[in-house]
Amino acid sequence: MPFFALVDCNNFYVSCERVFNPQLQHRPVAILSNNDGCVVSRSEESKKLGLPMGAPYFKYESFIRQNGIMVFSSNYTLYGDMSNRVMETLRPASDMMEIYSIDEAFLRWNDPLPPNLFDQVCALRRRVKQWTGIPVSIGLAPTKTLAKIAANIAKNQCHESVFDISKPTQQNKVLATFKVDDVWGVSDGLGKRLREMGVYSALDLKNSDPAFMRRHLTVVVERIVRELNGQSCIPMEGIGPRRNIMYSRSFGRPVYQLSELQQAIADYTSRAAQKMRRQGSLAQAIHVFIATSRHQDGANRYYAGLTVGLSSATDNSSNLLKQAQRMINDIFKPNRRYQKAGITLLNLTQNTQPAANLFADSAKPDQLMQVMDQINRQFGHDKIFLAAQGTTRPWQMRCKMRSPFYTTNWDKLVTVKA
């Protein structure tokens, strides 16, 4: 019988900032979303002060200033690299690992379980903190759903930050205090339907008839019921290449000119292509969209997208860019205040497969692209880029309070004065 752990990084974005800025320890900190819009991560100190999750920055700016809350723009380059460090520290600790999100991972052990597993997991938590500086909470359980609940207890109620919910008597005590809406896999709509059926807690859901739940709701609810009863029904998912890669951003200011939209799409296409090459894939189709703000009135609101199949699969940024620019020209309308644009590389296939077009060689690894990627990996992001991406990029997102790229840029390494 398998056994699971859910490892959850505590206040992850805030924790990443604190690793390289010790002055932030024990101080209220908040991280903002794209374009410095809303609060997306808070330290415990900020939570206690009453700063809500998702708070619009412009509405809470005076509250933040009055309470001395340190605010930072999102630094996704830093957070992504720190996430990779945490995951690589976790990987050797179990028989299988599933990266669930940027700050969460499932671990699984098969029979026979290692002796003193709880002690080993506690040691793993200390190792992650020592090697990466990121504090984590860990929930242990015989199923993934119970492990998610255990991790929640470990983070919010357990001083040691490791909680084992494997004993049935202990499970019932915990589940009785856990709202059904907070169970992993239960959406707001599903939670409302369950409450209408008299199911208010996770324990109520555990004690329900799985066949009845499948018949009157869905097979997903049946699996949740069985998982709450200790029957593992949700398999681990390995990390495979993505079938589609999307890159989209809101602009830092309204964009009116076609030339600026072309520059933005060129930048997004290049970045999406880099991600695609890292997983060894080729794109067979491309989708481009542009949009005004959804808050504009009907006459000025505009959204347009276009999808085009490629004559042959490619990972060449220049080839993808030429197609994307033609698509932008087709969907652009003048006299609009554009707020967002994006690109999706579709139907990705591994570059080991033969090209569909016998006369095309684009399915072969592109040496120019490989050299560009290697230079950027070695010397830092955007050390070399396509001219169409522009140099000033005035449309870029607002991130006036972003911390340096401590781990991915040689020029931003932390300076230690001894």
Amino acid at 393: R
Range scoring the smallest mean pLDDT among 1-15, 147-161, 237-251, 385-399:
385-399
Average pLDDT over residues 294-321: 85
In angstroms, how far is the first alpha carbon of the chain from the final one? 53
Q: How many residues does the chain have?
A: 418
pLDDT digits (tens, 9 = 90+) for 41-63: 999 999 999 999 998 988 999 99
Percent of the chain with pLDDT over 90: 39
More confident residue, 49 or 251: 49
Alpha carbon distance 193, 130 (integer Å): 45
Neighbours of 142 (CB within 10 A): 20
Q: Where in the chain is the domain with CATH 3.30.1490.100?
A: 245-389
Q: Which helix (H) or strand (E) holds 9?
A: strand 3-9
DSSP H helices in 67-160: 76-90, 117-132, 144-156
SS (H, E, C) 254-301: EECCHHHHHHHHHHHHHHHHHHHHHCCEEEEEEEEEEEECCCCCCCCC
* pLDDT score recorded for residue 11: 93
Could you give the CA distance from residue 337 to residue 380 in angstroms, rounded to a whole number? 33
What are the pLDDT digits (tens) for 187-198?
888 889 999 899
- Residues 264-276, mean pLDDT to the nearest whole number: 89
* Angle ∠(75,32,410) on CA atoms, nearest 5: 15
CATH H-level superfamily of 3-9+79-228: Reverse transcriptase/Diguanylate cyclase domain (3.30.70.270)
Q: Residue 65 belongs to what H/E stretch?
A: helix 57-66
Q: What is the pLDDT of residue 352?
A: 66
Task: Round the average pLDDT of the chain to a whole number and report it.
Answer: 86
Q: Residue 309 above 50 pLDDT?
A: yes
The radius of gyration computed from the CA coordinates of the chain, to the nearest angstrom, equals 24
Q: Give the H/E segment covering residue 304.
A: strand 303-314
pLDDT at 380: 67
Every domain of the chain with CATH number 3.30.70.270 lies at: 3-9+79-228
Q: What is the mean pLDDT of residues 305-328?
A: 89
> What per-residue confidence (pLDDT) applies to 77?
85
29-32 and 39-42 strand pairing: antiparallel
Instruction: Name the DSSP class of 405.
Output: -
Banded pLDDT at 361 (limits 50, 70, 90): very low
Q: Please, which pLDDT band fits residue 397 given cuts at 50, 70 and 90? A: low
Cβ proximity of 332 and 260 under 8 Å: no
The class of domain 12-75 in CATH terms is alpha beta
Section 316-330 average pLDDT: 90
What is the C-alpha separation between 381 and 249, in angstroms, rounded? 18
Before 112, cis peptide (omega within 30)? Answer: yes
Listed residue (386, 350, 388) closest to 368, CA to CA: 386
Nearest Cα to 306, choosing from 282, 283, 330? Answer: 330
> Is the pLDDT assigned to residue 355 strictly greater than 70?
no
pLDDT digits (tens, 9 = 90+) for 111-129: 888 888 999 999 999 999 9
Q: Given pLDDT bands bounded at 50, 70 and 90, which one contains residue 242?
A: confident
CB atoms within 10 A of CB 274: 19
Fold of 245-389: Dna Ligase; domain 1 (3.30.1490)
Closest CA to 290 of 249, 319, 252: 249
Task: Examine the pLDDT at 362 and tell me if it is beyond 50.
Answer: no
Percent of the chain residues past pLDDT 70, beyond the cut: 94
Confidence of residue 239 (pLDDT cuts 50, 70, 90): low
pLDDT value for 395: 72
Ranking 19-23, 156-160, 174-178, 290-294 by mean pLDDT, the lowest is 156-160
Of the listed ranges 111-115, 282-286, 328-332, the one predicted with least confidence: 111-115
pLDDT at 411: 74
Instruction: Lowest mean pLDDT of 80-84, 196-200, 210-214, 387-391, name the range.
Output: 387-391
Question: Is there a contact between 282 and 349 (Cβ–Cβ < 8 Å)?
Answer: yes
Please tell me which residue, 372 or 59, carries the higher pLDDT value: 59
Distance, in Å, from the CA atom of 105 to the CA atom of 46, rounded to the nearest integer, reads: 25
